[in-house]
A and B are shown apart, each in its own frame.
Chain A
Amino acid sequence: MVGKIIKRTYMGLIFLFLYMPILVLIVFSFNESKSRGHWGGFTLKWYGELFRDPDITKALYYTFLVAFLSSLIATVIGTISAIGIHNMGLLGKKVILNVNYLPVLNPDIVTGVALMTLFISMNMRLGFTTMLISHVVFNIPYVILSVLPKLRQMNRHMAEAALDLGATPFYAMRKVIIPEIMPGVITGALMAFTLSVDDFVISFFNTGSGVTNLSIIIFSMARRGIKPSINALSTLMLITVVILLLIINKRSTKGDELIP
């Protein structure tokens, strides 16, 4: 009984710690006053301002555009490469997987500056393209790492059975292999998308020419003084995240598979 009370209290405090900052942001998103410490009455004006602010809307646009494109490209390249890697010899597989692991294991800042060094050495102008490429670079490994286990689980003879029944290799891949590994592909794509939306460090070093994303704009604002419309944005993002997660959780009992 006592143990139960201690457990509940402990979890309560941890959840308070996790959610307090977010709750504070939400409360202040309805605050008339611009000050963070002062309550000036209820308002919805920051929500309106959020969508009129050209910096924020542009950053939002680039965030989701880059996330969408990079996760799409990474999923296609990653899935095809995973099938190739799966069928390689032991040594080749080992080497490729180790190199593939580098962006996952390396600190983001090292990946970020290394790519920046490359782009500048190749005389590429930092901007949308470089940011997109850098996102694809760090997304592919995650796609490969979530597709490979599915390939390993797959019955080795399944592809052979398809060929035996008269399928061309391409047909076998489309109708047999891809559907079998689909859960891994989807997990990988979702991971790539969320990592891309959330990324700051790598984007920070590999963008320019006025192309920003959400993280970059929050970083620069946080140093200069935040616009309260960022509070409104946090509220909207939290609501979106909670709704999405609840839907995912409802749809699959194995919901934790989708959480990276």
Chain B
Amino acid sequence: MLRRNIIELRNLTKSYNDTVVVDAINLLIRENEFITLLGPSGCGKTTTLRMIGGFEDPNDGDIFFEGTRINNVPPYKRNINTVFQKYALFTHMNVYENIAFGLRIKKVPNDEMKKRVQRMLKLVDLEGFEKRHVDSLSGGQQQRVAIARALVNEPKVLLLDEPLGALDLKLRKEMQIELMDMQKNVGITFIYVTHDQEEALTMSDTVVVMNNGVIQQVGSPVDIYNEPENRFVADFIGESNILEGIMHEDFLVSFSGRKFRCVDKGFSKDEPVDVVIRPEDIDVTSPEDADLQGVVSSVVFKGVHYEMLVESGDFEYMIQSTDMQPVGAGIGLKFGPEDIHVMKRGSDNEK
């Protein structure tokens, strides 16, 4: 399945008063892709999105849309639409007029406009709400109007800036599913910004992890989770035990004073590395037949599992297991070669 690139960011840079917010990033976005920019607040994800939308001018670098440079194209001439963080609905208009806004500007004939608005209302499940004042809608409904208002213009790319941030947990989960369905139905590219890693992993085809204005890793949710490229990604996505280790040769790493078999290769001899072990990948066993021994220092019940902190040597492992061990118990930790992820030691990424 070969998909064309629709947007390309080349060396894109933005700074405010000497503070670099987006630092020379390069990114290819394919047609029909659900791509998420993920990172902590201030990582430059929203700024990147706003540059694509045309609301911020890059200081350096280029944005290409279907092969054409669009740096100097104003937002109202880009075939890209945005769903804003707090919806930014026009409070002086009703639902119908909000959705019809873009069509009226394009002077779409009345009949067609009506049809297209109706289709959108159906898509976002708001039929019968045409005459309602937007202030009288719930947060979730306002959200849908904002999406319909953008999608009715049939953009090739939809930008979504933390669109679910203002909704409560349950509604957020529902809207996640709905947004994914919508993206499949309309078949256009969604560029989604969020700081919620779970949301990113759930919804996206591709996740772009950003920090300090720099792209840390681009990959599928599975790759990002299982094969974090550096300490930041490992730390930001899910819970992790991150240890310092030495890569002796291909498939052999040492940490916590022991050598382990692993599945990673391609490092130079005796290179210092970071090692990641996910808490759910560590099995609790009796101390005798384990790789490492430790003492439980705390136990918290989390619903599906217990979260235990286990002191072993000078490191405190986090373990998620259904097998509860009391505080003070001496236990064994066991993990296989495929549970060990070896990463290059970051130079400036652990900021």
Does chain A touch chain B in the assembled complex, meaning CB atoms less than 8 Å apart? no
